[in-house]
Structure formats: structure tokens, C-alpha cells
Amino acid sequence: MLRIETGEGRPYCDGISRRSAVQLGLAGIASFGLPDFLRAKALAATAGFQERDTSLILLWLGGGPSQLDTYDMKPDAPAEIRGLWRPTRTNVPGMDICEHLPQQAKRADKFTIIRSFHHQFSGHFVADHFVLTGRAGLGGREGELNFPSFGSIATKFAGPRVEGMPAYVSVPKAAGGGTSPGCFGANFLGPQYDPFQTGGDPNDTAFSVDTFSFPVGMTLDQLEDRQSLAERLNQFRHSVETPKVYDAMDKFQRAAYHIVTSSKAQKAFQITDEDPKTRDRYGRDRWGQSTLMARRLIEAGSRVATVAFGAWDHHGDIERDFLGFNFPRLDAAVSALLDDLEDRGMLDKVLVVAMGEFGRTPKINTGGPAKGSKPGRDHWPGAMSVLLAGGGVQPGRVIGATNQHGAYPIDRPVTPGDMHATIYHVLGLDPRLSFPDRTGRSRRAIEKGGVVHELF
């Protein structure tokens, strides 16, 4: 990876002392992958491609949240089906959600729920792969990743909304299919379309993103000053191990350097610049501050941002974990994000999606040592709920329905392919688009699926 050495070192966990540097590391790019992206974007422009000023924030509820305990409650079902909690009314008549999501209940007129999302894969890794790529096949530790994620495809064809920002980001990490970026990655499209992962914890007072660190002795104003930048580049030219590397840089490679030294990315990652009251609204925890970071990156010009909301794999102790951790953090983060986007005039142009890889079994299990001391729910791909807001989605509605036990769709079933087509539609991409794989074979972005037009 190309670096600009700065003369300042610090030890990393691998025991190697590495000098802090400005790296050509956007979106996990290896070598000169970013220039390749810029070339592709230039070709797209000459072909007359017109992108939309829209973007996506995906709150990934990794592990699989229970539809029956969140957005598709069945209060009239037997106790072992309906679970521990009761529904509460929202500010939209007839749209009830869990009583422990009170802030969202007050804002139901800002989002819509799909209750009929489903597929057939009950393992975490294969479900991650299917939901994020639209392709059946094993993922992560169970097999080879064989298709790009919809985030990577969107990145390839749309790029960032604002030059100088990484197009595709994950806060603090992308973890799908047991590896990182796993099923969030680009696979055969190339690492230049992987998400840039911030790492760390945005709630940590020492949080920083090293990839975007300033060179020693340089200020933000100096980085924006072309003459100072040219002088620094000239110093770099004579400091690299192989000076010919710099000489070989064409205009796209130099443009890549300007992207990673852009003040836009620097400012976006400075979460401490936020009003403390805004940070409090999101929640002073990893989920809340990661969501706020995603908003900052999208506002600055990124196209797709994913936020890792793990810890939804509740085979046991669902009462303890939901009440003490999941419910309050999810409720605060989602509610603050919707309010924040609306207050900033961004909600119409930013699609917010909250979902996981599958739902949970209608019947609560009996718990026990293997599942935790108290009951929970197991994997269930037959039905799950998805929250959507912004991006042109008409709010305050419920799309689709499940049977009396929340087990299967009985109205307007929605598949991962449908969800991908909908996301591409919001981002201004043709869901019928195709591209070559590593063998040169043309592959369609979506094998089967169409836009959920009821959302709009």
C-alpha cells in the first residue's frame, strides 16, 4: 500500500512499529485500486451516466432480531409464541410495535415496516451471503464468498456523492459471513469496492481513523493549499523505496492522493466536533456513536454507510439482553438518526434500512445450559421485519403480513432480490445492470427480484 512517511512511529498490536501515514487506503484498496475506480468513473461519465444525489445507511442487526419481539408482535397468540412483551400503540393508527421501543413509537410517522421479508437459509453465514449479495451459496467460514454485496455493486456504479470521500464505509467494521468484510465485500469486483472500515469505537474518547491522519507538521489549511501539497509530494517522490513508483503515477493516481488528503474526510471523522447534546440523543455507546458517524460520513459525501449492530443471536436469555442492552440502544439510535436527518433536510435523500440476516422462531425455546439460563428464540428465515425510512419511502405504513404466529408471509412477500432492487432504485441505478465476473462472464446484479413499489 502506498504511504507517505511522516517520521512519527507508534507500536501496533502486532509488535511492529509503523509510522503514521496518509495511505491510499480508501475502501480497503490494495496497491493502486482507487485510481482504477477513478478511471471507471471517468468512463461512466463519458457514457452519459447520471447519478442521483441519494445515499444509504444500513443498520445491520447481525445475528437476527426477533420479529415477534420488535415490529411484528402477535398479542393474541399463545404465550410461547407471543413472548414476554406487549405491543404499544404508535403515532400511526394500527401500527403497533414493541412496548420497549417507545421513542420509535413516537416517530412511526417517519418510517415504514416490511413484515414479510423472508428467505430459506437458517445458518448465519449462508443467510448473510444471501441477504447481502442476493445469491445462494455458502459464505464466511462455511465456504467461498462468491458474489459482491449490494453495497459494493452500488459503489462500483455510483461512486461517492462528493469527490474526496470514500464511497462505501462501514462503522466500525463490516462483519458478514464470519469474516471482515465478508459478505459486505466486493469479491470478484476487486478490493477497491470493499467498504472502508473505520475500526475502533466512535464512543471512545481516543477514537481516531489512522488512514486519514495528517502528515507530521501539516495543518488542514496546508493540506488544502496546492503549493504546500506539491512540495510535500516532491519530498515523497524522493523518499519512497522506488522513486519510479511516483514517476509512474498518472493523473488518476495523483487524484487518488488528493482524495485521501481531502479535508472532507478529515472533518467527517472528527465526531468530537458534534454538539454534545446531539451525541447524547444517539446514545453514548458504540451503536449510537457509530450511527452518528455514519450520518456524518453520508452528509460529507459518502454513498453507502453500514453500521454494525451485532448481538441479536438470542438463543437464550432474551429478556435480560433485550431489556438491558438491545432495546434501549436500538431505540435511541434509530430515533435520533431519523430526527437528525429530518432536521438537516437530508431525510428525503437518505434511505435508512434496519435489518438482519433472518428472524427468530415463532416458538420460544426452553433455555437450558446450551442456550443460556433462560429461554430465547432460535434461527428462523421464514419471516422477518425490516424498518425503512427516508430516500423517498412513504412513511407510516406497514407492507406485507405474516400468519397468526409470525412464521410465514401471507401477504406481499419480499425477498432479498426485491430489497436490492429497491435500494438500487433509490440510488438511481438500474436494477437490471450487469457486469463481468473474473472469468469475463456477464453477471446480473439481481437474479430475481423487483422494486417494492408500494414503498413509494
User: Which region among 86-90, 91-95, 166-170, 220-224 has the lowest average model confidence (pLDDT)?
Assistant: 220-224
DSSP 325: I
Q: Is residue 311 classed as helix, strand or coil in its secondary structure?
A: coil
DSSP for 22-91 reads EES-GGG--TTHHHHHHHHHHHHHHTT----S-EEEEEE-TT---GGGTTS--TTS-HHHH-S--EE--S
CB under 8 A, 24+ apart: contacts of 203-210: 203/284, 203/285, 203/286, 203/288, 203/289, 203/290, 207/271, 208/269, 209/269, 210/20
Res. 249: pLDDT tops 80: no
Q: Is residue 438 classed as helix, strand or coil in its secondary structure?
A: coil
Per-domain boundaries in the chain? 3-455
Q: Is residue 417 classed as helix, strand or coil in its secondary structure?
A: helix
State the pLDDT at residue 5.
27
Res. 173: pLDDT tops 70: yes
State the cell numbers at 74.
402477535
Q: How far apart are CA 102 and CA 90, in angstroms?
A: 8
Q: How far apart are CA 9 and CA 15, in angstroms?
A: 12
Containing H/E element for 224? helix 220-224
Q: Is residue 389 classed as helix, strand or coil in its secondary structure?
A: strand
The average confidence (pLDDT) of the chain is 82
State the pLDDT at residue 261.
58
Question: How large is the average pLDDT for residues 228-249?
Answer: 52
**What is the CB neighbour count within 10 angstroms for residue 164?**
18
State the cell numbers at 318.
432474551
Q: How far apart are CA 422 and CA 425, in angstroms?
A: 5
The Cα-based distances of 154 to 30, 198, 420, 436 in angstroms read 19, 19, 10, 15
The pLDDT tens digits of the residues spanning 296-345 come to: 999 999 999 999 998 999 999 999 999 999 999 999 999 999 999 999 99
Assess if CATH 2.60.40 describes domain 3-455. Answer: no
Q: What are phi and psi of 212, to 5 degrees?
A: -110, 25
As a whole-number percent, the residues of the chain with pLDDT over 70 amount to 74
Q: Are 195 and 170 in contact (CB under 8 A)?
A: yes
**Please, which residues bridge with residue 305 across strands?**
57, 169
Containing H/E element for 401? strand 401-402
Would you say the C-alpha torsion 13, 185, 190, 305 has a positive or negative sign? negative
State the pLDDT at residue 19.
29
Would you say the C-alpha torsion 213, 217, 220, 222 has a positive or negative sign? negative
User: Which region among 222-236, 396-410, 433-447 has the lowest average model confidence (pLDDT)?
Assistant: 222-236
Task: To the nearest 10°, report the CA torsion of 80, 85, 91, 93.
Answer: 30
The residue that leads in pLDDT, 136 or 455, is 455
State the pLDDT at residue 24.
29
As a whole-number percent, the residues of the chain with pLDDT over 90 amount to 64
Would you say the C-alpha torsion 255, 256, 257, 259 has a positive or negative sign? positive
The bridge status of strand 379-380 relative to strand 350-355 is unpaired
Angle, alpha carbons 254-196-151 (nearest 5°): 110
The pLDDT tens digits of the residues spanning 81-132 come to: 999 999 999 999 999 999 999 999 999 999 999 999 999 999 998 999 999 9
**pTM: predicted TM-score of the whole model, two decimal places:** 0.82
The pLDDT tens digits of the residues spanning 29-77 come to: 333 345 545 555 555 455 444 568 999 999 999 999 999 999 999 999 9
Would you say the C-alpha torsion 380, 382, 387, 389 has a positive or negative sign? positive
State the pLDDT at residue 11.
28
Question: How large is the average pLDDT for residues 387-401?
Answer: 98
State the pLDDT at residue 212.
55
Confidence bin at 374 (pLDDT 50/70/90): confident
